Amino acid sequence: MDNQTRTELEAAAFRGLVAHLQKRTDVQNIDIMNLAGFCRNCLSKWYRAAAEERGLEMSYDEAREIVYGMPYDDWKDSHQTPSSEQQRTLFEDTKPLHADISGHNK
């Protein structure tokens, strides 16, 4: 497979993941972090980092709006629920497994 095709397939897979996460507003970031070690915010940070690697200026808020499909504060107000003690404990316990870009595992 040539690099162009691989890049196009990777981009399509990313768009599919983002669309799925935008649809599944019932899935909380803390649950994704606890299970997979990344969340919508991590995807936003990776997106922003990729833009900056290519010399494009992008704020974290701009990247989050791309991933969330709306301003983060709007998403948070509409969809984020308070985390439980169990979720917070699991979050702390799994920090070493979180994506490096999250900043949680340092």
pTM: 0.92
Residue in the block written with tokens 């917070």: 88
Q: What pLDDT score does 105 carry?
A: 62
Once rounded to an integer, what is the mean pLDDT over residues 45-65? 96
Q: What pLDDT score does 102 carry?
A: 79
CATH number for 3-102 (one of 1.10.3340.10, 3.30.1010.10, 3.40.50.880, 1.20.1740.10): it is 1.10.3340.10
Q: Does 106 have pLDDT greater than 80?
A: no
Angstrom distance (rounded) from CA 29 to CA 41: 8
Spatial CB neighbours of 101, under 8 Å, sequence gap ≥ 6: 38, 42, 45, 46, 49
Q: Show me where the domains of the chain are located.
A: 3-102
